[in-house]
Amino acid sequence: MARSDEVTVIKKYANRRLYNTGTSTYVTLENLAVMVKNNEDFVVQDAKTGEDITRSVLTQIIFEQENKGGQNMMPIAFLRQLIRFYGDQMQMVIPGYLEHSMSAFAKEQEAFRDQMSGAMTQTPMKIMEAQVRRNTEMFRKAMTMFNPFVASAMGEPEPGTGEHSANGLGGQTRDDDLKAMREQLQRMQERLEALDDKKDA
């Protein structure tokens, strides 16, 4: 498939066929998955209405990848929790959190791989714990930038997290980090509910 720095338009027809306007060929979801992996940017439009349906098509690609044997990346517990957030007050926070977390992980991917391959004194679990702590701290800082109210609801990092813990001065396990994150999200939800109550009063 042709490689281009421009955004390619993919047309989806009523018969569910996908047409790549850049290469003038019909493509499959598997072809689009390859384009994503090759960092080729594209948008998918309904051929009749021109509506942007990129999100739904990318979701279909994930569904297909998950159905391939041995390629499951979405834990059942995560999928259940994600479904629960639909319609919840926290729904507005989740997209930014997931996007920021994946972006941060992608930026540190090479360094993470180097640590995994060259670590002599650290176990893979300790490296993963440090990664979780860094992601939590980066998320808190990101929330401060685009929503000070939500950031204040999250408060300062819990003892044993952040830079001190990442340097080996804290004794938290990965479970403790996840628990702290859940508690932060709970506090955020309580603050949002309190704000709604004040508006209704």
Amino acid at the residue 83 = I
Residue 38 phi, psi (nearest 5) = -90, 10
Per-residue pLDDT of 157-195, as tens digits, reads: 444 444 444 444 444 555 676 677 777 777 777 776 766
| Whole-angstrom distance, CA of residue 94 vs CA of residue 109 | 22
Per-residue pLDDT of 151-162, as tens digits, reads: 455 454 444 444
0.75 cut: is pTM over it?
no
Listed in order, strand segments (DSSP E) in the chain are 8-12, 18-20, 25-27, 42-46
Average pLDDT over residues 66-81: 84
pLDDT at 72 over 50: yes
- Please report, for residues 54, 96, 104, 135, 179, the alpha-carbon distance to residue 142 in angstroms, rounded to integers and kept in the order given: 26, 9, 11, 10, 20
| Crossing angle of the two packed helices 94-107 and 124-146, in degrees rounded to 10 | 130
Would you give the distance in Å from CA 83 to the centre of its chain?
15
Residue 15 phi, psi (nearest 5) = -85, 10
Domain boundaries, the chain: 8-66, 76-200
Give CATH for domain 8-66: 3.40.1170
Cβ atoms within 10 A of the Cβ of 27, count? Answer: 19
Q: Looking at residue 145, what is its pLDDT?
A: 54
- The percentage of residues in the chain with a pLDDT greater than 90, rounded to a whole number, is 27
